Amino acid sequence: MKKKDLALPDLTTTYTEFCFCDEGETALFAVRDGVEMKHALEQLMSLLRLAHENNFQASEIAEGRLAKMVLATQHGLEASKAIVASLLKSIERQAVSG
């Protein structure tokens, strides 16, 4: 049984603070309210690419148990990038099909 295609709602971000400086009192950064999902996912992909590259560089010098942890992190980052890429493709496909 094929699922019925439903139109995606116009999802946007909700204001969310992060990088707290003093035990939850003051946040240094925040995700702004109202950013379109596509733009938020594009930014997320950029952040994942940076983390992936940094982790890859760490994998070249890591040894022993740390090397295994870095490899596991690399796999998680690759999977995360694939999920975001899939979502972005879906958004583009829906935009084209109207």
Cα(first)–Cα(last) distance of the chain, in Å?
Answer: 24
**Domain segments of the chain as ranges:** 36-97
Contact between 30 and 16 under an 8 Å Cβ cutoff? The reply is yes
The pTM of the full predicted model, rounded to 2 decimals, is 0.81
CA distance 40 to 84: 10
Residue 5 has pLDDT above 60, yes or no: no
Query: Using the 8-state DSSP alphabet, how is residue 31 labeled?
Result: E
* pLDDT bracket for residue 95 (50, 70, 90): confident
The helix or strand, by DSSP H or E, that contains position 48, with its residue range, turns out to be: helix 37-59
Determine the number of helices (DSSP H) and then strands (DSSP E) in the chain. 2, 2
Tokens of 95: 């935009």
